[in-house]
Amino acid sequence: MMKIDILSLFPEMFEGFLHTSIIKRAIEKGVVEIHVHDFREFAHDRHKSVDDTPYGGGQGMVLMCQPLLDCLKTVVDKDALVILMSPQGQTFSQKMAVDLTNEKHLIIICGHYEGFDERIRDYVDMEISIGDYVLTGGELSSMVITDAVTRLLHGAIREASHEDDSFSDGLLEYPQYTKPAEYDGAKVPEVLLSGHHENIRKWRLKQSLKRTYLRRPDLLRDRAFTKEEAKLMEEIQAELEK
């Protein structure tokens, strides 16, 4: 069972997230334990201040050390990996999500305002960004991490269902179809109706390679292609040159 503690000034933002679908079931099944802590409760002054103006001047407010770190001290333990959410972190990926499933205890700190007092980083093991854009707070990014990691935990969802996820094998997922076999004149590819599993596997691999080649060639740059994949890539490039 993994434990996830989230430090946020807006715990109400997590209500829907924690009580819906896969995350809700994973909590009920005891696969994961998720707690949200409002570090404003650790503020000492009567205004419950958690931020202040930046030394050296400048726009906006900065999160203070004391309330946030006093809250952190109440949840940190020897197994804890402390993660700070910020645009300056390493960009999150499926590989990072898989690596984090090996941890017993994640503590995720959500930012707000202009950012954190730099000394907070002395208590942080890892800094993660979910992308090169600026959010109003770290809550959404902490949900992204929690969601991507929880669904990979043993017992959260049927193992098979994330085996052919995009990125699980470094490729984008192949096109999916379901009933009806014809919609508004658009037919499902014959091979998928054939029941011929080997042909279906080949078709799906070729589609994944083609989609990755067209949409995310960066994902193929350092890829060690199997003989079969190399042959399929030749076919794809020949067909695209036609």
Of the candidates 36, 97, 138, 149, which one interacts with ligand 4FV according to CB under 6 A? 138
Distance CA 137, CA 5 (A): 17
Site for ligand 4FV in 197-226 (CB under 6 A): none
Site for ligand 4FV in 73-92 (CB under 6 A): 85-87
Catalytic residue status for 121? no
28 within 8 A of 44, measured Cβ to Cβ: no
Does residue 54 touch ligand 4FV according to CB under 6 A? no
117 within 8 A of 63, measured Cβ to Cβ: yes
The residue (of 81 and 220) whose beta carbon lies closer to ligand 4FV is 81
Of the candidates 112, 204, 206, 210, which one interacts with ligand 4FV according to CB under 6 A? 112
Burial 121-149, CB ≥16 within 10 A → b, else e: eebbeebbbbeeeebebbbebbbbbbbbb
- Residue 112 parent element (H or E): none
The residue (of 83 and 152) whose beta carbon lies closer to ligand 4FV is 83
Distance CA 233, CA 214 (A): 11
Catalytic residue status for 114? yes
Binding site residues, ligand 4FV, CB under 6 A: 85-87, 111-113, 115, 129-131, 133-135, 137-138, 141
Active site residues: 87, 114, 151, 165
